[in-house]
Amino acid sequence: MLGEQKVVFSGVQPSGNLTIGNYLGAIKNFSRFSDTYKTFYCVVDLHAITVRQVPAELRRRTYETLALYMACGLDEKKNTLFVQSQVSAHAELGWILDCYTMFGELSRMTQFKDKSAKHAQNINAGLFTYPSLMAADILLYQTDVVPVGIDQKQHLELARDIALRFNQLHGDTFTVPDGYINTDTMKIMSLAEPTAKMSKSDPNPNAVVYILDTKDDIMRKFKRAVTDSEACVRMAEGKDGINNLITIYRAFTGKTVEEVEREFDGRGYGDFKEAVGEACAEGLRPVREEFARLSADKAFLESVMKNGADEAAYYARKTMSKVRRKLGFVN
């Protein structure tokens, strides 16, 4: 905790166009913390290189992710927005926490198993120790609250365990963070395979709606969304496709499940899919417009990066000074 103000930290990889799952489950909710917390929102490019990157594309996507943060409502004057690799303390503390993370703990991480299967030719040490670097990202700023999706909950639990272990050995050093999960929209599923999470790396272009998709693309994808044969818009077990569409519709309209079911009582899936597409496209329109404006001003984005990195480094140095002293490193 920085003084009396609690701290929020979160990071997003610059790994391509972000989905409505990233938006609804994470980024859209970030701004709610801005007025009452000290907030650090990071483009985690160090994490991105656990998978081979084309340098020019990684650089471009880093700018784009920062622009998306702001287009989704994060005011650079109220939030510390920065790029991970521009604050070297992340890598330094990442190595230190590697030495406080057990091999067995890392072996149990489900994302390591999943990514190893997808990238069998590049199962590198960074992919294995990724959760220790994520713990460093969080603990570096004495974070109280981390907005996380269900798939990152395991990593957050490990960050808590590492903080407790370090504190037990060296005295009170790190704040032990809590997770924040938005229970309304915590998991947006694939439009083509509604039992699987929507993923920006899905090879099926119709399965994923991206934040920057055009309205025509959004409408086309929702029209092709997998449903069921009942032709009744209601939330129920076994209706994975419709449940997912209701969740998305609610997220963009603010309506309850009961209101959605009443609205589409007696109407077919075609009407419902079109309404979901319209609500999504209209909800994302201001984001797309603001993203286009920000992306055209590279100098402004670089000034946000620099100011954010300077401020983040100031707070990171405070933590690292304490860590180095407790470890016995000579200043």
Each residue's pLDDT expressed in tens, for the chain with a length of 331 residues: 555 789 999 998 997 678 998 888 778 878 889 989 999 999 999 999 988 899 999 999 999 999 999 999 999 999 999 999 999 999 999 999 999 999 989 888 877 777 766 767 878 888 889 999 999 999 999 999 998 776 778 889 999 999 999 999 999 999 999 998 766 556 899 999 999 989 887 889 899 999 999 999 999 999 999 999 898 999 999 999 999 999 999 999 999 999 999 999 989 999 999 999 999 999 999 999 999 999 999 999 999 999 999 999 999 999 999 999 999 999 8
Whole-number pLDDT of residue 180: 85
Q: Token pair of 16, please?
A: 């391509």
Whether 197 sits among the annotated catalytic residues: the reply is: yes
Q: What is the CATH number of domain 7-186+298-327?
A: 3.40.50.620
> Which of these is catalytic: 78, 153, 187, 197?
197
Given this structure, which CATH class describes domain 205-291? mainly alpha
Whole-number pLDDT of residue 3: 53
Whether 115 sits among the annotated catalytic residues: the reply is: yes
Strands laid side by side in the 7-12 sheet: 80-83, 38-43, 7-12, 145-147, 178-180
> Taking a C-beta distance cutoff of 8 angstroms, is the pair 215, 229 a contact?
no
> Which of these is catalytic: 78, 153, 200, 215?
200
> Which of these is catalytic: 115, 221, 239, 273?
115
Whether 298 sits among the annotated catalytic residues: the reply is: no
CA triple 36-92-41, angle to 5 deg: 25
Whole-number pLDDT of residue 127: 84
Residue 35 to residue 310: CA distance in whole angstroms: 21
Q: Where in the chain is the domain with CATH 1.10.240.10?
A: 205-291
Q: Where in the chain is the domain with CATH 3.40.50.620?
A: 7-186+298-327
Whole-number pLDDT of residue 72: 92
